[in-house]
Each structure stands twice: as structure tokens, then as C-alpha cells.
Amino acid sequence: MQEENPTVLNVTHADFERKVLASPNPVLVDFWAPWCGPCRAVSPILESLAADYGDRLTVAKVDVDENSALAAEYRVRSIPTVMLVADGEIQRVLVGARPASEYREGVEALLQS
């Protein structure tokens, strides 16, 4: 289990609806696994976004090994998969490790919508 970062929520199947879908803020959800090298590479970028956007954006992580049913429900086929969610709806999906600028552009678009 990854250590809890105060700016990043660890989310499970049991609390996904409450922490992500019912969130008053837009949410960036990272579907990842501890053994995934690209996931580990993306993690500092997402933590930086969490710090930069503070209370305007929620950043959440879902460990696909511990929450395989949730990953299947959202058709996560490759990790990392980052979903940008607003008002309970998926607005954008980014699959695979991407440059920090792509995540930031996605977050900016999400916050402006």
C-alpha cells in the first residue's frame, strides 16, 4: 500500500462514489499499481498538480490490484490510466504515462468547464 499523501486521496471500490463521483470538486483519478514503473513515474506529476490546484481539484489514486472490480467497471485495460471527472461524469481519459503538460492541460480544461 502506498503511503498516504495528504494532498492525494487513496480511493477504494467502497468509497469511489462518495470521494469521486459525488465530489463537489473536479477529480483527477489515477488508476495505478505499485509494480508499474510508468505509474511511479507519473505519481510525482500528479502530486504536484494536487499541490498546485489545492482545494480546486481533488487528486485520487486507485490501486488496481486491490480494486480490480472497480478497474474492470471503468474498463481500465492499461495503467496508468488517468480519468478527469466532473459532476460525476468522466470528461477525459489519458492512458499511459504522459508529459506533465498534458495532465496540466486536462486539469485546466476541466476547471474551466
Report which residue type is found at 77. Answer: R
- Predicted local distance difference test score (pLDDT) of residue 3: 45
pLDDT score recorded for residue 6: 59
Enter the pTM of the model: 0.92
The C-alpha cell of 7 is what?
A: 494532498
The contacts of residue 34 (CB under 8 Å, 6+ apart) are 1, 2, 63, 65
10 is catalytic: no
What's the pLDDT tens digit per position in 26-66?
999 999 999 999 999 999 999 999 999 988 999 999 999 99
pLDDT of residue 1: 42
- Which domains are assigned to the chain? 8-107 (3.40.30.10)
pLDDT over threshold 50, residue 94:
yes
Q: Considering the candidates 8, 20, 27, 39, report the single residue annotated as catalytic.
A: 39
16 is catalytic: no
pLDDT at 106 over 50: yes
Determine how many CB atoms are found less than 10 A away from the CB of residue 57.
19
User: In the structure grid, which three cell numbers stand for residue 41, read together?
Assistant: 513515474
Q: Which of 36, 62, 76, 83 is catalytic?
A: 36
pLDDT of 5 reads: 55
Over the stretch 35-44, which tens digit does the pLDDT of each residue have? Answer: 999 999 999 9
pLDDT of residue 2: 45
| Predicted confidence band of residue 73 (pLDDT cuts 50, 70, 90) | very high
